[in-house]
Chains A and B, each alone.
Chain A
């Protein structure tokens, strides 16, 4: 059994190496946001200057607030539309159901470059144009399938007899949904909502093609900065959003695990 021990030990070591690979660049980027040199020169000299100047940067601040607003609206819309659709799939059998479910696949599977450019052309062509509203349209469509998948997964753990019992006690469809079904699937709905938030908040490609000057989101602004000239302010703002989205996912994980329990 000595070989097994050694192999297990190597396995653990390997995982830690992988984690180092995954986190190394993020940690370095965060460190550089506290370094004085605007050209990332070493030796390292501590400063919080870049975080301070972040507050002076109107463009980054407005892009950040746009990002948050869009992510919040996306979350609300996606959970509402997604939960409704999941309920329909759960409750009813009908022809074409498989097809409709399969239609959820393209938004997830097609590269964003294609979806993004297609939206740009279409929205431009029909007069929706670009800007925050177009970005919102796109984000909801991208996040919706995730919400439906997550909520449906939670619904699988739901016993239909509960709905049946409530009906037999005289509750109408709306009451059944509100009093019985929704409370049960709530963890799934919340997890789906957090997913939607993360998808929207981190979305770059689609936002990039749909944004106009002044109506951009944070990732688009960061990309513009990377290509047109930047200072460690970009590291500072990147550090902040990485921390925010990781915290958000930790939260999701909690709910999702909770959602998986019977």
Chain B
């Protein structure tokens, strides 16, 4: 009888510490310290490693605010995030509804798995696969022209819609997943009761189902919006001349232009934006939990 399930908060921490320490030490070294270091680096004139003299400055942040370019790009990225999120809602929510309320038993399970499965395959590869589909003279183009009596030209590759299609494809399973979880929790008898009281389908949807599934919608939206705002590889591959976004400029600072301090400042500004968005959505999420 060496140890009891401890209830006192101090002894609890003492017992818990050895179990928690390795994991949190790791997270500190690989996540929390780097994020703090980013703030530090973003206020330097030069990288200390380059051997050149460096000093602290706010110039990198000033650059963001003084040059319209970065603000324009950040807004473009936010707009992209918004559009992709909206499409994911439009496409994902009905699918989640069908899964949760129409399909039953084994077929539901199997189809649910099929919807979620691509999500766990490599994102880069899936974006690359769209490049195969969307090109003019690509396989979709050729196949449709072989079937259809008239000639059509599918040439969305290297355009803004191509980026949106690729991103929606990447993230729509998120929305299906989160909405499915909340929709499933809605009691079927509630819907039946409403119907028997004479509510139309549309009324039920507007008054009952959508409000009740709000937490799922918001969670899905946050999970989609945040990474899309920081996306760079998708617009790079699919966007062509319209493929310059906030994320691609950050990537450039690190791999091409070699202005890490500016890259860090831009990253940090993005982090701030992301945190604000997460903070705004967290009340809804907490209510769900």
Contact = CB atoms under 8 A, between A and B. Distances in A.
A238 B29 CA distance: 32
Given A24-B133, A93-B9, A222 B124 contact: yes
Interface in B141-171: 142, 169
B16 A113 contact: no
Contacts, number: 265
Interface string A232-251: 00110010011001101110
B29 A137 contact: yes
B217 to A, nearest CB: 17
B5 interface: yes
Given A85-B24, A144-B23, A204-B233, A18 B91 contact: yes
Contacts of A87: 19
Nearest to A206: B30
A23 B126 CA distance: 9
Contacts of B111: 15, 19
A49 interface: no
A42 B139 contact: yes
Interface stretch (A58-66, A100-108, A185-193): A100-108
A113 B250 contact: yes
Given A19-B114, A81-B26, A140-B30, A222 B49 contact: no
Contacts of B91: 18, 21
A69 interface: no
Contact of B94 (A14, A26, A41, A103): A14
A118 B94 contact: no
Contact of B230 (A111, A119, A120): A111
Contacts of A95: 9, 13
Given A125-B49, A222-B124, A245-B122, A92 B230 contact: no
Nearest to A87: B19
Contact of B254 (A26, A120, A238): A120
A125 B41 contact: yes
Contact of A26 (B13, B95, B118): B118
Given A18-B95, A164-B5, A172-B2, A246 B121 contact: yes
A124 interface: yes
A238 B117 CA distance: 16
A73 to B, nearest CB: 13
B49 A118 contact: no
A144 B161 CA distance: 35
B283 interface: no
Interface size class of A (residues with CB under 8 A): 35 or more
Q: Could you tell me the dominant secondary structure of chain A's interface residues?
A: helix
Interface in A142-198: 144, 148, 160, 163-164, 167-168, 170, 172-173, 198
A85 B19 contact: yes
A229 interface: no
Interface string B46-71: 00110000000000000000000000
Contacts of A71: none
Nearest to A3: B201
A163 to B, nearest CB: 8
A219 B138 CA distance: 24
Interface in A189-225: 198, 201-202, 204-205, 209, 219, 222-223
Given A141-B30, A144-B27, 12 more contacts: A14-B94, A40-B139, A85-B19, A94-B9, A110-B226, A111-B230, A111-B231, A117-B263, A140-B26, A148-B23, A198-B120, A249-B120
26 contacts: A18-B115, A19-B114, A25-B130, A25-B132, A25-B133, A26-B118, A42-B142, A77-B26, A85-B20, A85-B22, A87-B19, A88-B17, A92-B6, A93-B9, A94-B9, A94-B16, A113-B250, A113-B270, A118-B38, A121-B38, A123-B34, A141-B29, A144-B27, A173-B2, A226-B131, A249-B120
Interface of B: 1-3, 5-7, 9-10, 12-13, 15-17, 19-20, 22-24, 26-27, 29-35, 37-38, 41, 48-49, 91, 94-95, 97-99, 102-103, 111, 113-118, 120-126, 128-133, 135, 137-140, 142, 169, 172-173, 222-223, 226-227, 229-233, 236-237, 247, 250-251, 254, 260, 263-264, 267-268, 270-271, 274, 278
Interface of A: 8, 11-12, 14-15, 18-19, 21-26, 28-29, 31-32, 40-42, 77, 80-82, 84-85, 87-89, 91-96, 100, 103-104, 106-107, 109-115, 117-125, 137-138, 140-141, 144, 148, 160, 163-164, 167-168, 170, 172-173, 198, 201-202, 204-205, 209, 219, 222-223, 226-227, 234-235, 238, 241-242, 245-246, 248-250, 253
